[in-house]
Amino acid sequence: MSTVGLQLRELREKAGFSLRKAAVAIDMDVAILSKMERGERKFSKETILKLADLYKANSDKLVIDFLSEKVLYELEDEEFGLEALKVAEKELKYKKHK
């Protein structure tokens, strides 16, 4: 499974942006963007959307992958993580149909 950071690095390279040019385009420090791509720092949804727009990429897929990583990070070491995820899924479905 490819991380969002790796996906965004590949998209940046395919779009022909250097790390510096991409960072300047979204008004971000180059070192921070580098750390995000390497998985040493977390992305925000806002940054994901800016980069998807810059690279002309599918923002829906990137946001889904971003949210998935976020959930995994929170639950991976929890004894009841999977059960909690199932309960959360039911709650989300309930709220969507309300």
Give the pLDDT confidence of 39-76 residue by residue, as tens digits. Answer: 999 999 999 999 999 999 999 999 999 999 999 988 98
pLDDT digit string (tens) for 7-16? 999 999 999 9
Q: How far apart are the first and last CA of the chain?
A: 34
**Which domains are delineated in the chain?**
4-96 (1.10.260.40)
Mean per-residue pLDDT of the chain: 94
pTM attached to this predicted model: 0.83
Q: What is the 3-state secondary structure (H, E, C) of the chain?
A: CCCHHHHHHHHHHHHCCCHHHHHHHCCCCHHHHHHHHCCCCCCCHHHHHHHHHHHCCCHHHHHHHHHHHHHHHHHCCCCCHHHHHHHHHHHHHHHHCC
